[in-house]
């Protein structure tokens, strides 16, 4: 009897844990992403709010999920807004994007991060802040970066030599950022793929 109950519980647990979640608005929520304890894998939590899918950072900021590629274990979130008439990203108060290191997500190596309104002391770090950095093209052409024009800016490729759990900004460093997935420098700024690509560890 006990064995039967045990087996039943095990099979129920397996079935429910492998159930993909229902669509959020028009977006599919593929396994292992989980909008609810009854579906997906709860370690891969995302939030369905007002018909839009969102990712929660360790800093407590929600970022819109723009696309998901379950076969590559990847999703792309929207970079934060830059507030009008300033050069402040909306997540500046929490220091930019930070991911919980205990969760199975990290920032992939396909992101070119553009930092805006940097102070001079940032030049010491391994960033490209030259006059032909991609950040200049962005600052000069993107409407949302209007407030950042004529400030010191830099870019870097988020490669494996860096922490894959943070994009850091701060007052006295750089105060705004955006990110481009698989940047194509020769294409016009408006056609770049703006987003922050995250990767997840495939559930075992």
Closest contact distance (angstroms) between CB of 171 and ligand NAG is 5
Residue 133 binds ligand NAG (CB under 6 A): yes
- 60: CB partners within 8 A, 6+ apart: 94
Q: Round to the nearest angstrom and report the end-to-end CA distance of the chain.
A: 30
Nearest to 129 by CA among 154, 112, 151, 152: 154
Contact pattern from residue 68 through residue 87 relative to ligand NAG, giving x for each residue in contact according to CB under 6 A and a dash for the rest: ----------------x-xx
Angle at 31 between CA 40 and CA 91, to 5 degrees: 80
Residue 201 binds ligand NAG (CB under 6 A): yes
Among 35, 112, 117, 178, binds ligand NAG (CB under 6 A): 117
- Residue placing its CB nearer to ligand NAG in the complex, 48 or 107: 107
- The site that binds ligand NAG (CB under 6 A) totals a number of residues, namely 22
Contact present, 136 and 108 (Cβ < 8 Å): no
Residue 35 binds ligand NAG (CB under 6 A): no
CB neighbours (10 Å) of residue 23? 13
Among 11, 38, 93, 130, binds ligand NAG (CB under 6 A): 130
Contact present, 149 and 135 (Cβ < 8 Å): no
- Residue placing its CB nearer to ligand NAG in the complex, 18 or 171: 171
Q: Which two structure tokens, joined as six digits, stand for 140?
A: 């000069």
- Binding residues (CB under 6 A) for ligand NAG: these are 84, 86-88, 106, 109, 117, 119, 128, 130, 132-134, 147, 160, 164, 171-172, 175, 185, 199, 201
């Amino acid at each position: 009897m006990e064995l039967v109950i045990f087996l039943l519980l095990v099979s129920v647990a397996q079935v429910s844990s492998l159930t993909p979640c229902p669509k959020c608005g028009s977006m599919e929520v593929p396994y292992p992403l989980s909008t609810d304890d009854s579906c997906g894998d709860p370690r891969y939590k995302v939030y369905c709010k007002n018909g839009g899918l969102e990712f929660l950072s360790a800093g407590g900021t929600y970022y819109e999920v723009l696309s998901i590629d379950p076969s590559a274990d990847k999703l792309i979130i929207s970079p934060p807004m830059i507030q009008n008439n300033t050069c402040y990203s909306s997540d500046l108060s929490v220091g930019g994007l930070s991911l919980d290191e205990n969760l199975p997500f990290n920032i992939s190596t396909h992101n070119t991060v553009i930092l805006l309104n940097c102070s001079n002391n940032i030049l010491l770090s391994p960033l490209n802040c030259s006059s032909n950095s991609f950040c200049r093209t962005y600052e000069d052409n993107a409407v949302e970066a209007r407030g950042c024009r004529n400030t010191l800016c830099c870019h870097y490729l988020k490669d494996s030599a860096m922490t894959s759990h943070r994009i850091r900004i701060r007052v006295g460093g750089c105060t705004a950022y955006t990110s481009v997935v698989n940047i194509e420098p020769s294409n016009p700024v408006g056609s770049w793929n703006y987003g922050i690509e995250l990767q997840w560890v495939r559930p075992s």
